[in-house]
């Protein structure tokens, strides 16, 4: 009898544990407020503001796994996009890296990064939308980048996965 009570207590506490962990997702639903004139992007040109929902959506689906939901990255592995001196120094370069990937030794906020990032998006429009989103989130007030400013960025042919 004692054993049954112990099992019941164990099952009960397990279920309390599981339910208390559930639903802890992102509670900050800001999607409805992103493109209003008074919103966080009010200082930006209208065409840049209009890209933000797309940039946000791609960021959340493709970038958070490495650069994190906060843009903080992972020290010495995935560089930060939040307050990144490297990113803010050259916006067109950031667009090019998002499009074509990057395999450099780079120093971001005094830390070295050597891992490769593979190409992330297929079109310049997508890359520009994400970088504008990044430039204006995670505490960044980085201005914006236009399609005109990246007209010389060439989309490199994707290399086929190496056959081993
Ligand atoms: C699989 C992990 C991974 C994913 C996913 C990823 N990145 Fe990166 N990213 C990296 C790594 C690693 C570097 C450093 C590359 C190097 O050293 O050349 C980097 C560098 C960068 C840089 C330049 C460095 C900086 O901090 O400013 C930018 C900009 C960037 N990524 C943007 C993005 C965007 C935008 C996305 C989503 C569309 C994305 N990345 C998705 C791993 C990733």
Specify the pLDDT at position 6: 52
- Ligand 1 contact via 95 beta carbon (within 6 Å): no
Domain boundaries, the chain: 36-143
Gap between the Cα atoms of 95 and 145, Å rounded? 9
Fold of 36-143: Cytochrome Bc1 Complex; Chain D, domain 2 (1.10.760)
144 lines ligand 1 (CB under 6 A): no
Which residue lies with its CA nearest to atom 30 of ligand 1?
98
Question: Does 137 contact ligand 1 (Cβ within 6 A)?
Answer: no
Confidence of residue 158 (pLDDT cuts 50, 70, 90): confident
102-135 pLDDT per residue, tens:
999 999 999 999 999 999 999 999 999 999 999 9
pLDDT band at residue 39 under the 50/70/90 scheme: confident
- 99 within ligand 1 shell (Cβ under 6 A): no
Is the confidence at residue 16, as pLDDT, over 50?
A: no
pLDDT of residue 4: 54
Q: What is the pLDDT of residues 65-80, one digit of tens each?
A: 999 999 999 999 999 9
Cβ-based burial of 158 (10 A; exposed 0-12, middle 13-18, buried ≥19): exposed
Name the band, by pLDDT with cuts 50, 70 and 90, for residue 159. confident
């Amino acid at each position: 009898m004692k054993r049954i009570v112990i099992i019941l207590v164990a099952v009960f506490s397990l279920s309390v544990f599981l339910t208390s962990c559930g639903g802890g997702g992102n509670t900050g639903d800001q999607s409805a407020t992103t493109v209003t004139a008074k919103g966080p992007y009010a200082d930006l040109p209208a065409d840049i503001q209009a890209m933000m929902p797309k940039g946000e959506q791609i960021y959340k689906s493709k970038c958070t796994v490495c650069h994190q939901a906060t843009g903080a990255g992972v020290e010495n592995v995935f560089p930060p996009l939040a307050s990144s001196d490297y990113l803010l120094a050259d916006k067109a370069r950031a667009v090019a890296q998002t499009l074509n990937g990057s395999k450099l030794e780079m120093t971001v906020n005094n830390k070295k990064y050597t891992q490769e990032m593979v190409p992330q998006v297929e079109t310049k429009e997508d890359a520009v939308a994400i970088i504008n989103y990044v430039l204006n989130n995670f505490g960044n007030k980085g201005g914006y980048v236009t399609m005109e400013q990246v007209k010389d960025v060439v989309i490199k042919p994707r290399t086929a996965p190496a056959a081993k």
